[in-house]
Amino acid sequence: EAQVTQNPRYLITVTGKKLTVTCSQNMNHEYMSWYRQDPGLGLRQIYYSMNVEVTDKGDVPEGYKVSRKEKRNFPLILESPSPNQTSLYFCASTHGTNTEAFFGQGTRLTVV
């Protein structure tokens, strides 16, 4: 089954404690992205990757890092999480330019 898998689904952490949210897709898609969803703001792109070792900032990259060492994986790293990063995070992958994005199930992160 074609899917985008994120882990964990839920995470509560403390300010400053480094964390990683994993994202994996099994569709051999070139493009992968991370979004955060906040009430009243919709989805905003954090980072995206056009292929292995190619990443770029989205609209709200501050406080986040990503890596793309393999085509299927695109982890999101918060080196020093802060409460304003409490949000619902979605990973997405896309095959090409004229296709839709497939989304993971989401990761609800709370930073206290």
Partner 1 sequence: AQSVSQHNHHVILSEAASLELGCNYSYGGTVNLFWYVQYPGQHLQLLLKYFSGDPLVKGIKGFEAEFIKSKFSFNLRKPSVQWSDTAEYFCAVNAGSGYSTLTFGKGTMLLVSP
State yes or no: residue 61 binds partner 1 (CB under 8 A): no
Min CB(10)–partner 1 separation in Å:
11
3-state secondary structure of 20: strand
x/- site string to partner 1, residues 12 to 31, per CB under 8 A? -------------------x
Stretch that binds partner 1, among 15-23, 42-50, 60-68, 72-80 (CB under 8 A): 42-50
The DSSP element (H or E) to which 6 belongs, if any, is: strand 4-7
State yes or no: residue 110 binds partner 1 (CB under 8 A): no
What is the C-alpha to C-alpha distance for residues 91 and 34, in angstroms, rounded to an integer? 5
Q: What is the DSSP string of 37-104?
A: EETTTEEEEEEEEEETTEEEE-S--TT-EE--SSSSB--EEESS--GGG-EEEEEEEESSTTS--EE-
x/- site string to partner 1, residues 72 to 91, per CB under 8 A? ------------------x-
Note the residues at the interface with partner 1 (CB under 8 A): 31, 33, 35, 40-45, 48, 50, 58-59, 90, 92, 94, 97-98, 100-101, 103-106
